[in-house]
A and B are shown apart, each in its own frame.
Chain A
Amino acid sequence: MKPGRLIGKAILALAGFLAVFPLLWTALNALKNNVDIITRVPRLVFTPTSANISYILGRDSVLTGLYNSVVACGSAVLIGVVLGLPAAYAVARYPNRWAGDIQFFVLSLRFLPPVAVAIPLMVIWLQVGLYDTLPALIITYSLLTISVIMWLAIPAFQGVPKEIEEAAFVDGYGAYSVFWRIALPVAARSLAGAVAFSFVLVWNEFLIALMLSSSNAKTLPIVASELSQQGMNVPWGILNASVVLLSLPPLLFLGVLSGFLNSVFRQKKT
């Protein structure tokens, strides 16, 4: 058994290393001059430079992309919260014969291939005159955020003990104030996870943004992918810096999301 355990630990350590090392290496490359990146033997010791990062942060296209990403994702998540959370609560707490169908409908939105949605939307937005604008992107992303938030929030609301809500009704609360003052605060942790998850999803979205924007409404992933097409001399350091910038916002939610996973699986135990 002993050597088996040792091998097991070694495999796990290797997997842990593989999980983060490529990203750390990218972050390191973002601090290197091109000569230190283009080497046959990877270089760990080098003179760091901030040129790549300041180049990235000084470019208008990157700043516009960052702005578009923040506005589009932020608004879509807000719409998702306003429309998705109450609907999820109603489905979780007032089950009727439609509840199963609603849940399946919300899930089935995930089956739709993004190309199948993006092609007609592109034609529609062109006809309406909203192609390549943030509102078009926000409306399209709302479909994504509403359905994801609903899908994750239904079990979160079901996890709230019914007794607490019953007690509130006995105290004379109406249905709406039970939602506001009891269900929302009690489920807050799981709901935050659901919201964070929907944000990460739209922040990382690429295909729809690529097809629905041509110049004004480009989001950060599109701008980052375009940096790689600048001529023959690949600006490795700059590319690495842009990858790091693009990756940072979702990583900020690491704590929220791992807490979310923990709370989801703790509920299942009972």
Chain B
Amino acid sequence: MARRTSLPVTFVVPTIAILLVLSMVPTLYAIVIALQNRELSTPDYSWVWLSNFYDLFLDRRFLNAVWVSVKWEIVTVVATMVVAIGLGVLMFEVASPRLRNVYCLLFIIPVLLPRVSAAFVWKFAYHPLYGIATYPYRLITGGLIFDPLSKPATALFAVASVDVWQWGLFFAVIVLKLLETLPPQPIEAARLDHAKRWQIHAYVTLPMLKAPLISLMFVKMIESLRSFDLIYVMTRGGPGVATETLDMYAFSQGFIESGKVSYASAMAVLMMIATVITFTMLWKRVQA
């Protein structure tokens, strides 16, 4: 459609210009703030250049936050993909078309909930005395208390379970839809060769879906970085610093505890550099 028209210019240029301004101004300004020593309490500031970054690497709480973030990424991404592929294949194998539709609707509900709502729903459910999710444990043990959110060993997993509840079920729907779009011939052929059902999926269907599944994982990796609301409502980074991710730590440094906006911004800039580099590289590889 190589027609001479002004449409592409009038449609694209203003939008991209606005997006560029809206994204570049805060991004560049974040770097500027990170090189200063601004605090919320005082309007004065001076340039300190890289000293915020230098301090960060001596800050054990920062290093802990990096480690928690890495753990969080790995746990949520892996668990989400396992749940999604497991349930997607199960629906494909054992559910009738009508039942598939019902499950699809049910599985989309959790991801639509605001993270704040999801966090509250499960915070109630995990309540050691009155929670519905801890009730079976109280019933079996005759009233012993199980408090997953206040134990350092379990808190991260308890919060991660909510994330997987939201995204794993939703991705299961997408995996099912992907399976439904596959041509039936290879599956038939494998069946004729007496392949077992799990073998068909492990060796035929899932390898055929490799590209879209990697894209899904990519999306989940990006979304997993936005878990602030979940952690903020459920644990506030606690107990201790067991669930304190980078954005949680940046928030508490910048606003709750000390108001060190520049220090928080330095952290955010490091996060930004790390994610942009990682995801750009991953994206180029996914596209290739």
Where the two chains meet, the residues of A that have a C-beta atom closer than 8 Å to any C-beta of B are 1, 4-5, 8-9, 11-12, 15-16, 18-20, 22-23, 25-26, 29, 37-42, 83-84, 86-87, 89-91, 93-94, 96, 102, 104-117, 119-124, 139-140, 142-143, 146-147, 150, 162, 165-166, 169, 174-176, 179, 200, 203-204, 206-207, 210-211, 221, 224-225, 228, 236, 239-240, 243, 246-247, 250-251, 253-254, 257-258, 261-262, 265, 268-269
Q: Is the CB of B264 within 8 A of A119?
A: yes
Name which residue of chain A comes closest to B1, CB basis: A93
Task: Tell me the total A-B contact number using a CB cutoff of 8 A.
Answer: 271
CA distance A267 to B247 in the complex (A): 38
CA distance A251 to B109 in the complex (A): 7
Candidates A142, A169, A257, A269; contact of B112 at CB < 8 Å: A257
Chain B 254-275 residues near chain A, CB threshold 8 A: 254-255, 261, 264-265, 267-269, 271-272, 275
Pairs A-B, 7 closest by C-beta atoms: A120-B29, A116-B268, A87-B15, A90-B11, A206-B229, A204-B114, A175-B5
Q: Is the CB of A15 within 8 A of B8?
A: no
Name which residue of chain B comes closest to A262, CB basis: B177
CA distance A208 to B269 in the complex (A): 16
Q: Is the CB of B132 within 8 A of A25?
A: yes
CA distance A126 to B6 in the complex (A): 39
Q: Can you list 23 A-B contacts (CB < 8 A)?
A: A8-B93, A16-B102, A16-B107, A23-B121, A29-B124, A87-B12, A90-B7, A102-B12, A107-B283, A112-B275, A112-B276, A114-B226, A115-B246, A116-B269, A116-B271, A175-B6, A176-B5, A224-B117, A225-B232, A239-B124, A243-B116, A246-B114, A258-B105
Candidates B18, B91, B178, B232; contact of A83 at CB < 8 Å: B18
Name which residue of chain B comes closest to A113, CB basis: B271
Given A115-B267, A247-B113, 8 extra CB contacts under 8 A: A22-B132, A42-B132, A107-B283, A112-B276, A115-B228, A120-B33, A175-B3, A243-B120
Name which residue of chain B comes closest to A245, CB basis: B117
A27 to chain B, nearest CB (A): 10
A68 to chain B, nearest CB (A): 14
Residue picked from A8, A113, A140, A246, most chain B C-beta under 10 Å: A113
Candidates A5, A38, A206, A253; contact of B94 at CB < 8 Å: A5
Q: Is the CB of B114 within 8 A of A250?
A: yes
Chain B 142-196 residues near chain A, CB threshold 8 A: 143, 165, 169, 172-174, 177-178, 180-181
Q: Is the CB of B124 within 8 A of A240?
A: yes
Interface assignment of B90: CB less than 8 Å from any CB of chain A:
yes
In the complex, what residues of B have CB within 8 A of residue A5's CB?
93-94
Name which residue of chain A comes closest to B120, CB basis: A243
Check A247/B1 contact, CB under 8 A, given A19-B109, A89-B11: no
CA distance A96 to B165 in the complex (A): 41
A270 to chain B, nearest CB (A): 10
In the complex, what residues of A have CB within 8 A of residue B22's CB?
139-140, 142-143
In the complex, what residues of B have CB within 8 A of residue A147's CB?
19
Check A19/B116 contact, CB under 8 A, given A93-B1, A150-B15: no
B134 to chain A, nearest CB (A): 10
Name which residue of chain A comes closest to B14, CB basis: A83
Q: Is the CB of B233 within 8 A of A265?
A: no
Name which residue of chain A comes closest to B113, CB basis: A247
Name which residue of chain A comes closest to B29, CB basis: A120
CB-defined interface of B203-235 with A at 8 Å, one 1/0 digit per residue?
000000000000000000010011011001100
Candidates A8, A90, A123; contact of B12 at CB < 8 Å: A90
CA distance A113 to B225 in the complex (A): 7
Interface assignment of B82: CB less than 8 Å from any CB of chain A:
no
In the complex, what residues of A have CB within 8 A of residue B104's CB?
258, 261
Residue picked from B12, B38, B251, most chain A C-beta under 10 Å: B12
B203 to chain A, nearest CB (A): 18
In the complex, what residues of A have CB within 8 A of residue B269's CB?
116
Name which residue of chain A comes closest to B86, CB basis: A11
CA distance A84 to B268 in the complex (A): 28
Name which residue of chain A comes closest to B101, CB basis: A258
Check A261/B233 contact, CB under 8 A, given A200-B112, A247-B113: no
Q: Is the CB of A175 within 8 A of B7?
A: yes
In the complex, what residues of B have CB within 8 A of residue A265's CB?
177-178, 180-181
Interface assignment of B237: CB less than 8 Å from any CB of chain A:
no
Interface assignment of B23: CB less than 8 Å from any CB of chain A:
yes
In the complex, what residues of B have CB within 8 A of residue A204's CB?
113-116
Interface assignment of B106: CB less than 8 Å from any CB of chain A:
yes
Q: Is the CB of A9 within 8 A of B94?
A: yes
Q: Is the CB of A124 within 8 A of B29?
A: yes
CA distance A112 to B269 in the complex (A): 10
Q: Is the CB of B143 within 8 A of A40?
A: yes
Interface assignment of B125: CB less than 8 Å from any CB of chain A:
yes
Q: Is the CB of A268 within 8 A of B181?
A: yes
Q: Is the CB of B268 within 8 A of A113?
A: yes
Q: Is the CB of A26 within 8 A of B124?
A: yes
Interface assignment of B122: CB less than 8 Å from any CB of chain A:
yes
Candidates B29, B225, B272, B280; contact of A123 at CB < 8 Å: B29
Name which residue of chain B comes closest to A116, CB basis: B268
